[in-house]
A and B are shown apart, each in its own frame.
Chain A
Amino acid sequence: MSIRHRRISAISISPSLVARTIGNRVKSVTKARTTAKVTTAESITARREELVAFYECYENFVECVCDAAQYGPLTRLEDSYTRNRSAALDKLNALGQWARAFVRLEGKSEEIIDPFSELFAPENLADFLHSDDGLSIERITLTREALNLYGEHLRQLAARIS
């Protein structure tokens, strides 16, 4: 047998072993993809739940502020403001990095830099009304739009994975 043939024999691997190796590799890749898919789906579901939870206290906060614009800082509105602001800030820690990516500041007032933080900055309702620089509604519009866009983004991600 020539050297070339001997080398080929030396390095040849039985077909069954080749098949098992390729098969294992395909299985492990498929398993990795499935695991990644499940993990991604779980993460998207978790993010959607975070958004829903935040949106509820955010909308209550917005309604409270709008009522106060008409009726002033009534006690029940002050209580609602404190409760919903606290809940929203707590949830904003996790959600903020995602939601802020969807804020569209183009064409808006230059004084607005981070509408989420600015909206929740005043510690009580009386301070909110007192410190209103006329841009609160614009901040509400920006944050609402960002939350809707983020929600749509998550819906599309979930649809792609399923």
Chain B
Amino acid sequence: MDDQSGVGRDLTLAAACVAAVFLFALLSPAFGTAGNAATVLRNGYELWLIALGMTLLMAMGAIDVSVGAVMGVTAILTGQALLADLPLGVVMLVGPAAGAMLGLCAGAVVVWGRIPAIVATLGLFGVFRMLIFLVLGGQWLSGLPADLTRVVDWRAAGVPAGLLIVALAYGAAWVFLRRTTYGPHLLAIGFDEDRARLMGLAVTRVRLATFAASGALCGLAGVFYIAIYRNVSMTIGADIALEAVAAVILGGTPIFGGRISLVGTVLGVLLLRILQNGLLLIGVPSLWQTVVTGALLLGVLSAEVVLRRARTGAA
């Protein structure tokens, strides 16, 4: 699945993460501690989950910019399930189930409405934001019970359960991509949808399933959000769609589809979170963090263009 340049990108990203870690550790004594490493990972949970769904969508040539609002709606449902004293197992399933439904809605609009994914999901983003507003009615959910927090922070042999769940999600995606026909079909659609249809692939089914899977992952991110922050405000998830797209592109899955790198997405999210945490720890004002991540994205993309030109020029 990872072609040659994809593996190269993974190595570059891994090297960038390591370099950033060394640099920040050198400049700030607070960075290289076990506690801070745990914080960086913990801050990445929701973005990893949402970026996984986004990776699948983008490999297929689609995108979903409503992911932040889907996380918002599912976080509210999870919070209310928690307040209603439902069994914890049920509370944890409410989010992913509702997320899958919302993802399926987005897929249906894109597939049957024949509307480009970015337009359809932008419209749904507005609708879901309004839903959040109506459900919250202007009041915040805040000071929620810590039941889910204990689940996510519970450690098995030193590894937090939250990290295990994220790893499981990526593992499951990897198995589906590599061991079933889902992977090749997904990439075929991303490469050329019409040709995939002519070849007799179940294009509609694959597209709907991918939107639903992405929605379910957003729902799981909503559960994590409640576990970690224990409050929901109106603005929940306002920035996370762009962060996810940035992480996926950094990771080497192109925005027009046809290629996929799960390892790249894992590293892309990690690099974003390391930068956000490290820059603050070495005293760079938080206002500059978005500039740094934006510049990083532009740098990677233009380096890619230059390299490709050099390669085709040589051939």
Say whether A and B bind each other: no
